[in-house]
Structure 1
Amino acid sequence: MTIITGRAKIAAVLGWPIQHSRSPLLHNFWLDRYQIDGAYIPLAVKPEDLRKVIQGMVAAGFKGCNVTIPHKEAAYLCCDRVDEAAKKMQSVNTLWFEPDGTICGTSTDGLGFVASLLDQEVSLKRCKVLILGAGGAARSVVTALSDVGAVITITNRTSSKAKQLINDLDIKANQLNWEDWPNSLEQFDLLVNTTSLGMEGKEDFAFDLTYAHPKLVVTDIVYVPRVTPLLKAAQDKGLKTVEGLGMLLHQARLGFEKWFGVNPTVDQELTEYVASSLRK
């Protein structure tokens, strides 16, 4: 086990609440693997305290932080510099602090999602993708898929939200009525659930994959449970599936590299280590 010293590099994850976050588990796993003098800690931060906590972290010498629900939009406003993806989404999940105190931010969720698909050898260029949902998670996923050349169609229970997402991101995408998507699946190569439907403790939902193309790949950004109702329905039809845990692990890599100076590896050992906490 790595022993931290007064020279330790420190990062954190900020949320309200924070006890659900698996980020400390995976970042401290990497710190131990690479024998880095550092630590990654969870901080429960009330929304009204976010700005002063981030400024305090800069003053205290933290290297940066992740932000999770409900802070992603508010953290964007705390940044001095953000990249183009973050500007489009008006939110960030990863901050790092330059030596001069500059607060930099980006969103790594979409990149993590794409990396998890490429990890499973899913080809994305010109891939016909159907996105379920038009919330904050969808914005990250749609931005990243658009950047790699996928052909995107979005469906949402409230169609105006899907239209707003397309306009806000200024991307080329199609729209499909929510009630029509189950009967349109034969047109698509990839189905992505970015909603909370099927998440543990949320609304039950029966996913109808009757008309799915035999080569349809099905993925869900939810990782609790690991096998969501959508993934179970896809597996029962013999379709290829990609679970949401890979997105969680891959989205963490950029932050770790910025804070601790090592580009970490996502492998089976890490996956099983984090997955074991989901079963407890």
Structure 2
Amino acid sequence: MSPVDIDGSTRIYAVFGDPVKQVQTPRLINPIFAAAGCNLVAAPFHVTPSTLTATWAVFRQLSNIAGIGVTVPHKVAAARLCDSLTDAARQVGAVNSIQRHADGSMHGAQFDGIGFVQGLASARFRLKGAEILLLGAGGAGRAIAHALAAEAPARVMVMDRDPESVAFTVDLINRVAGEGIARKAGRDAGRAAVWINATPVGLKPGDEFPVELAALTPDTLVADIASLSRETELLARARELGCTTSDGNDMLNAQISLIAGFAAGHEAGSPLA
């Protein structure tokens, strides 16, 4: 079955985002559904924060909805709307994939963290013992923070416009790591050996990165998950310097089979072969 063979029995995996033009999940996941013989198709839906709750209520009632994938800015809000969560999603307080059960209940999971660290591939070892700047304490940032805590960094400096989100993420890292390795980012944030952008900064022309890009060196590891369909200013500068880089496609590709399995009704962590 190809991704375009849609009939009356086809189930839909919706992907909510605002913006949504940059979303790559349907392109990547539909061939996986087709190869596995699943009559399941992913499609993007432009859902704004003000319409999320109402849209969620409608999709809860539709029996041909298999689940919902969520991207910026809905990962934290969607977790609050779920009826149940996996352990990782509960600790992080954010989801990026939701199963809709037959009774309309919604079960949320979080794969961004494992996707991020696995997406670094051979550069993953550079997290151990490193000073890390994490820009973003929203849904994706929290998931990445949760995963970073298991990679034994020396320090994680968290930056976000929302002080409560920073406090939550710092506490999450320190709790998972079992020691006080995380703190709010200060003026010395640019010295970090690893820079991670887990915000939408860079998606729109004219976005200004909140840390001086002049602080980058060729030895900096730069990961920008905002970059999916185009290069951000941060990644462009990093690549000019010869830095090792990772973008949002690396994270997404690393987790897409897990998302596919979850969307098809499998337990979280079971890929769709």
Unaligned runs of 5+ in 1: 266-280
Deviations 1:108-155 (A, max 9, x none): 22222112112x442166341412324203212111111343344114
What's 2:213 paired with?
207
What's 2:10 paired with?
8
Q: Secondary structure at the match of 1:123?
A: helix
What's 1:26 paired with?
28
Conserved 8 A contact 1:12-1:42: yes
Conserved 8 A contact 2:158-2:170: no
- Are residues 1:54 and 2:56 paired? no
What's 1:233 paired with?
237
2:135 maps to a residue whose letter is G
Shift of 1:34: 4.2
Which of residues 247, 267, 271 in structure 2 aligns to 1:263?
A: 271
Bigger shift: 154-163 or 108-117?
154-163
Percent identity for Structure 1 against Structure 2? 25
Within a 5 Å distance, the mapping from 1:38-49 to structure 2 comes to 38-45=40-47, 46-49=51-54
Unaligned runs of 5+ in 2: none
1:208 maps to a residue whose letter is A
Conserved 8 A contact 1:131-1:194: no
- Are residues 1:180 and 2:184 paired? no
Deviations 1:44-81 (A, max 9, x none): 44224134123213xx1432121234432332233222
Shift of 1:95: 0.6
Aligned residue pair count = 256
Shift of 1:42: 2.5
Q: TM-score, normalised by structure 2?
A: 0.77
Within a 5 Å distance, the mapping from 1:76-225 to structure 2 comes to 76-99=79-102, 101-118=104-121, 120-123=122-125, 126-136=128-138, 137-156=140-159, 160=163, 162-167=166-171, 170-171=175-176, 172-175=180-183, 177-182=185-190, 184-185=191-192, 188=193, 190-205=194-209, 206-209=212-215, 212=217, 215-224=219-228
Equivalents in 1 of 2:147, 2:109: separation in Å?
A: 13
Deviations 1:9-50 (A, max 9, x none): 432213455444332222223334444332222234422413
Equivalents in 1 of 2:220, 2:154: separation in Å?
A: 14
**Residue 231 and residue 48 in structure 1: after superposition, are their counterparts in 2 closer, same or farther (change >3 A)?**
closer
Equivalents in 2 of 1:68, 1:209: separation in Å?
A: 29
Equivalents in 2 of 1:41, 1:160: separation in Å?
A: 34
Shift of 1:207: 0.6
Q: Secondary structure at the match of 1:95?
A: strand
1:27 maps to a residue whose letter is I
Conserved 8 A contact 1:159-1:177: no
Conserved 8 A contact 1:96-1:258: yes
2:183 maps to a residue whose letter is Q
Deviations 1:64-111 (A, max 9, x none): 121234432332233222122222232212111345554211122222
**Residue 72 and residue 238 in structure 1: after superposition, are their counterparts in 2 closer, same or farther (change >3 A)?**
closer
Bigger shift: 155-164 or 252-261?
155-164
2:55 maps to a residue whose letter is L
